[in-house]
Structure 1
């Protein structure tokens, strides 16, 4: 209660006491000395008032107010005693009653205020009774008709109630700060019933007194019965009201938002306990949080240390966690006229505190679940290493950007060059550091340029460019972002230069997100092949063959169904024109696409797990053709290209020798042609395979010699028997001195090492003549025959040329006999 409210209450009390004192000052001089019988009546009347004041019932209106049954005693006294004696007896009864019955929370100020109120209300009632025409004497006896007494009692009761209600309502309004209307409505039905019952008792008592004044002794008993009945009703109502309010208050706590729970709890405690203020303080957070509310709502929510001073706190309840630890505390500021809580209210506070604790823990658990859900959602859209958006987030952002109509949309795919060297040289930990640094740089540069960066996996990043003013600005914007990678990155005490290749594609009508990614990927690989930083996608340069995807799915069927067949191109001795061998060339006879050349399907086979079965099938067909020729009397060899991936298979030599044995063929009749790659002669596993084959007698040839970067080193390391000159040198011999020199040097190298040299792509007689003149002994090409099946080649061998069986071209030594020196030992 504020100082202003306290002053107003004291002023009201002073006015009440002054008015009551004035009434007594009027009455006392008019008193006369009573006879013994009259004195007995006066004592009984005073006792009647004492019982009426003592039989009081508590009612809470944000503070505890006690309504009593004194009105019935006052009415009886007013109609049986003269006004001056009635006021004196009421004052004496009130004084004794307040002194005998001391209520919890009572004070001298409160006793004087309430006593003065009863005296003032009694004066109003006696005045109303006199005005109604009843003028009693101490001698007693009916001096007026019963209707006059009835009217006097009714008028006196109204006067008493009006004065009492006015003073009490004004007092409660000042104490609680509530309006007069709110106070008057609180328990109005019980007060009305109590006043009507008091009037009924007064009517009955008056009737008895009119018969014999000594029957006044029976009235206190009736007052006591009335008190007990209404105390019971008040108790039942209070219990029901308390539990209904508790149920409503706890139901309101069933929220999932912690702030909402705390605000509801503070407001609910104010209403439930008729408190001036209620506050909930949480101790297990930093800083401690405090929520305070009053009758008007929440007045503070923030750190405890910054909260303004509260009203005097007179009740509290600790809020305990499930493990017994204290979560916080609920505190109440009860009205100044209330001293603590009674037993029922203590039980209510315990139940409310337990419900509040559960609600706080549930709200926190829900908040943790929401936070965990949100974190999982963020993790599902974030790259765990760099923190950038991942592929899923990029596709979602791309879909959102495509729905907007502002400007041009482009996607750039960025791949780091030679990133594998960092992992292989420094280790994956430093590789990850490099990716993190690149991600940070790209992210910062993209933010500055209004773009979004994502990591798709490995060392591949994507940049989404939105709201571009024109398509032509896409590649310039991407270049500005990629400029952030120019500065070296410090790794393991060294400066590592980051180089990247990027491809950029524009989103257009009908271009899906997947197609946009594919186009950017195609452009990026074009940039890698061209050795430039960035390339924009051009449809005319898109060499992606979707048919290869379907071929990969049909590979198993083709291998099992014998769709791969072998064609043989003869290899002849250049001087005599006689066939000495044939190269087995594989074709795929596809049921829909027709004959497919190796360049269309060989990479698919090499990447699959069917390479072994494919190689075995081709070798079986090649050896079957060789056996057919030898059975016909032609001592030929067969050459077969071997995939570098087969050389990594330790079981490959055993498979080759097994097939040779099955066909009853000499291993020396098989020539395995090796592609000149980095794997040949540099891997220990390859060396073991080649040495095993050579030791078994299988001949080895180095195919396309001269086109690689390390031809001489390969020859020195790989134990081959033949060198095959690439067709590009043969075709340019007549027009290019460099090509002719390359051919001559290869022939000389083969002669010095004792190796057979075979020229590929011999198309014309002039090329044959030139090769023969520089010492090349063998060649193959369309001049001698195109690839045919085994039977067709056998027919050609049988037919011969110029009557020479086995010859496929005329001899360059006309009129001379040529002796073929096959398998000539090294010089």
Structure 2
């Protein structure tokens, strides 16, 4: 859109119209006096030839001045005043004034001058001509073609009156139009004006002197030649000065094109281009950049900004390409439109080329900056929003909540609504992840549409959403808003031709007095699980009911302190070859030595850690202790791989792979000595996201194990998406292996599947020798459980390795030689296992 005219521009226009109107009114009054004088004095009618000379003298002088002005954008000397002054010496003032007015009016109309300028020029001419003639009358001059009676002093006085009136009508208008003072305009070209006036006065005095003295008329033949020479000399002088001024204005204009705002560059270039080249209108076409945009402007301001095509062309327009000097970049075209056909000088063509090159560079820089700004805004948006749903992400939710807790927003109660979709995993498992994504997008849309102004709807990951409710008048209003939002999810939605009903549970928590967003998130999580257990759509956090787990009593500040003061420690449970009884690896199990609640297991605090901002620090601390222990065992002669449990939320962190590899390098542990255990049921809905991180780790040599295998319904889908090395059979199947044929069948099929995929199998929760024998007979090679050892410290495990069992270092149980022959199957050694870690397989 074109720029809006400012109030200053409107005020300038009003003042110009008032000044020009005053000039025209005074000129009209002078014209009326001339008519009155003609009626009462009845001056004789001069020879028509004299009036024609005045007419063509004025017309020619104006046309030459206009031509020079267009070419050099400068007010050149107006020689049309000389025939007027000489004519008033030879003929009565009214007739001369009539001829001069007609010549000036026709010249202005033919050259298509703006009406306001034409009226000003006519009014000014009537005024200064009347002043010149009035002085001649008052000094007793008698106009006559053959024997004029006038003194040289009268002519000089008349010229002074003429000049004073001319400046009085000219200076205020130019001062207002150029936003200058009359004093500045007067002294700007004072020397040039003095030379002008002296040349004109000398010419008039010379002609009058010849006519009055009765000298030979041949002496007047030199006048046109002298005037022409003076005109050429003065025009040349003006042109030289104008070229210097033009370069200065061009330099100023190109400096002002350094803006990074493309609109400002285009608007300024179009307006200044009209001034620099005295063009009626300038057009900038950006079609060469692939953008359908045209900007048009006059010197007074922008007239159009929108799609093409161009408006100007033909003989009255000059078009130049907008390209850099080396022609490596082309931005479009620059079009200068004039009143009539015009030809630029060599200097003006070079100036136009320089201006076009500078404008092209400015357009390229502004476009590049705009693209960079767009990318920055896009990156900022992506960093704060969920890519699937477009909602705010966890980071944005936390930052917004921190602002409210810091008191930088409006007053009011703040609450958090935590929403979890019920049975969403079944949608992914039944219809696929594409359908699941469609459901999540629709749920996000409904939640966002039903949110109140100012509330922030976010997706935390998977099927979990959160809504920051702000500016609540009363606590009860939080429950009302939550019920409204969850009711918006009740309507069925269609996915791949099937009608699906979305069920959800929501937990509401009011902002606590301490603990910040971490405590608010924890309380909302507690309330959400209360709603799930009660089978209700929503539940509000109540401190009296917050007794589910010790971990749910932890505040965010305690987690930060625990990481800083190394309250998290790691125990290790051996993984044993079921056939030989030898330790082949160990699983790292985190514990929290809480100063108040004692020794806490992951079941009591892990969920709280995952929902806090301390997960990266916690995961790094556990990994660091596990790798340090592995290094100690290796130095003692026991090269055991160590398995570390990984939260799916850690895998969503793009920095996690580099953290793991940095830890391996820091402790000088080979990558194949580390196995990361993944929970199958939590990673299915995030396969595409975590797959890249896992592939990066697998390619580096880190082993990957799928924990709790068999408990989910998408095990095969997981195996096809994640580069797994090891399967860990859930303890529920191990417990029932002796009494349940179904459990035995699951274990046998798992072993067969692993064997075909060249994976190792570990049974969890081995509690008795009968279970060990049963697992061995079903083909399971390795296991862990209380039958062999409970979790212990790194130092204690090293002592156990050194002592061994039955005189065998590194063994925890007797070998099962009586069960069947033992053979070593040739197999590929997957990352995460050593040759010693490949257990004996029953034949």
Under a length normalisation based on structure 1, what TM-score does the superposition of the two structures give? Answer: 0.51
1:464 aligns with 2:524: no
Cross-structure match for 1:657: none
1:156 aligns with 2:161: no
Residues 35-114 of structure 1: pairs in structure 2 closer than 5 A: 58=65, 60=69, 66-68=77-79
Question: 1:278 Cα shift?
Answer: 2.8
1:524 aligns with 2:524: no
Cross-structure match for 1:431: 436
In 2, the alpha carbon distance for the partners of 1:673 and 1:139 equals 134
1:401 aligns with 2:404: yes
In 1, the alpha carbon distance for the partners of 2:58 and 2:725 equals 116
Cross-structure match for 1:737: none
1:682 aligns with 2:746: yes
Residues 459-608 of structure 1: pairs in structure 2 closer than 5 A: 459-528=463-532, 532-537=536-541, 538=543, 539-544=546-551, 559=572, 600=601
1:394-420 residue CA offsets vs partner (Å, 9 max, x unmatched): 112212333246332211222223322
Question: 1:170 Cα shift?
Answer: 7.1
**Distance change (3 Å), C-alpha of 1:176 and 1:316:** farther
Cross-structure match for 1:245: 249
SS at match of 2:418: strand
Instruction: Verify the 8 A CA contact 2:77 2:196 in the aligned structure 1.
Output: no
Question: 1:159 Cα shift?
Answer: 0.3
Residues 414-813 of structure 1: pairs in structure 2 closer than 5 A: 414-447=419-452, 451-528=455-532, 532-537=536-541, 538=543, 539-544=546-551, 559=572, 600=601, 674-676=734-736, 682-684=746-748
Instruction: Verify the 8 A CA contact 2:591 2:602 in the aligned structure 1.
Output: no
1:230 aligns with 2:234: yes
**Distance change (3 Å), C-alpha of 1:327 and 1:422:** farther
In 2, the alpha carbon distance for the partners of 1:52 and 1:476 equals 87
Question: 1:525 Cα shift?
Answer: 3.9
Instruction: Verify the 8 A CA contact 2:550 2:604 in the aligned structure 1.
Output: no
In 2, the alpha carbon distance for the partners of 1:591 and 1:51 equals 107
Residues 360-375 of structure 1: pairs in structure 2 closer than 5 A: 360-375=363-378
Instruction: Verify the 8 A CA contact 2:210 2:219 in the aligned structure 1.
Output: no
**Distance change (3 Å), C-alpha of 1:318 and 1:514:** farther
Structure whose alpha-carbon radius of gyration is higher: 1
SS at match of 2:512: coil
In 1, the alpha carbon distance for the partners of 2:764 and 2:228 equals 128
**Distance change (3 Å), C-alpha of 1:113 and 1:63:** farther
SS at match of 2:414: strand
Higher mean C-alpha displacement, 495-504 vs 206-215: 206-215
**Distance change (3 Å), C-alpha of 1:292 and 1:17:** farther
SS at match of 2:746: coil
Instruction: Verify the 8 A CA contact 1:283 1:328 in the aligned structure 2.
Output: no
In 2, the alpha carbon distance for the partners of 1:314 and 1:244 equals 29
**Distance change (3 Å), C-alpha of 1:273 and 1:551:** closer
Cross-structure match for 1:193: 195
**Distance change (3 Å), C-alpha of 1:370 and 1:406:** same
1:677-708 residue CA offsets vs partner (Å, 9 max, x unmatched): 997752447657999xxxxxxx9998699xxx
In 2, the alpha carbon distance for the partners of 1:551 and 1:188 equals 81
In 1, the alpha carbon distance for the partners of 2:499 and 2:600 equals 42
1:261-314 residue CA offsets vs partner (Å, 9 max, x unmatched): 444345434544556x5354657499865544464x55x44658999xx99998
In 2, the alpha carbon distance for the partners of 1:591 and 1:255 equals 58
RMSD between aligned alpha carbons?
Answer: 7.3
Instruction: Verify the 8 A CA contact 1:289 1:304 in the aligned structure 2.
Output: yes
Cross-structure match for 1:410: 415
SS at match of 2:158: helix
Structure 1 spans left out of the alignment, 5+ residues: 31-46, 141-148, 565-585, 618-642, 654-671, 692-698, 706-710, 721-757, 759-788, 790-822
In 2, the alpha carbon distance for the partners of 1:136 and 1:10 equals 27
1:652-686 residue CA offsets vs partner (Å, 9 max, x unmatched): 99xxxxxxxxxxxxxxxxxx995349977524476
Instruction: Verify the 8 A CA contact 2:590 2:602 in the aligned structure 1.
Output: no
**Distance change (3 Å), C-alpha of 1:520 and 1:343:** same
**Distance change (3 Å), C-alpha of 1:312 and 1:18:** farther
In 1, the alpha carbon distance for the partners of 2:428 and 2:362 equals 53
SS at match of 2:248: helix
SS at match of 2:484: helix
In 2, the alpha carbon distance for the partners of 1:379 and 1:704 equals 53
Instruction: Verify the 8 A CA contact 1:63 1:274 in the aligned structure 2.
Output: no
Cross-structure match for 2:337: 331
SS at match of 2:417: strand
Question: 1:600 Cα shift?
Answer: 3.7
Instruction: Verify the 8 A CA contact 2:593 2:600 in the aligned structure 1.
Output: no
SS at match of 2:389: coil
Question: 1:383 Cα shift?
Answer: 1.0
Cross-structure match for 1:380: 383
In 2, the alpha carbon distance for the partners of 1:357 and 1:19 equals 61
Question: 1:471 Cα shift?
Answer: 2.9
Question: 1:427 Cα shift?
Answer: 1.6
SS at match of 1:517: helix
In 2, the alpha carbon distance for the partners of 1:228 and 1:163 equals 24
User: Which of 255, 258, 270 does residue 259 from structure 2 map onto?
Assistant: 255
Higher mean C-alpha displacement, 520-529 vs 506-515: 520-529
In 2, the alpha carbon distance for the partners of 1:11 and 1:340 equals 34
1:595-644 residue CA offsets vs partner (Å, 9 max, x unmatched): x9998479999x98969x99xx9xxxxxxxxxxxxxxxxxxxxxxxxx99
Question: 1:494 Cα shift?
Answer: 3.2
In 2, the alpha carbon distance for the partners of 1:354 and 1:644 equals 64
**Distance change (3 Å), C-alpha of 1:66 and 1:351:** same
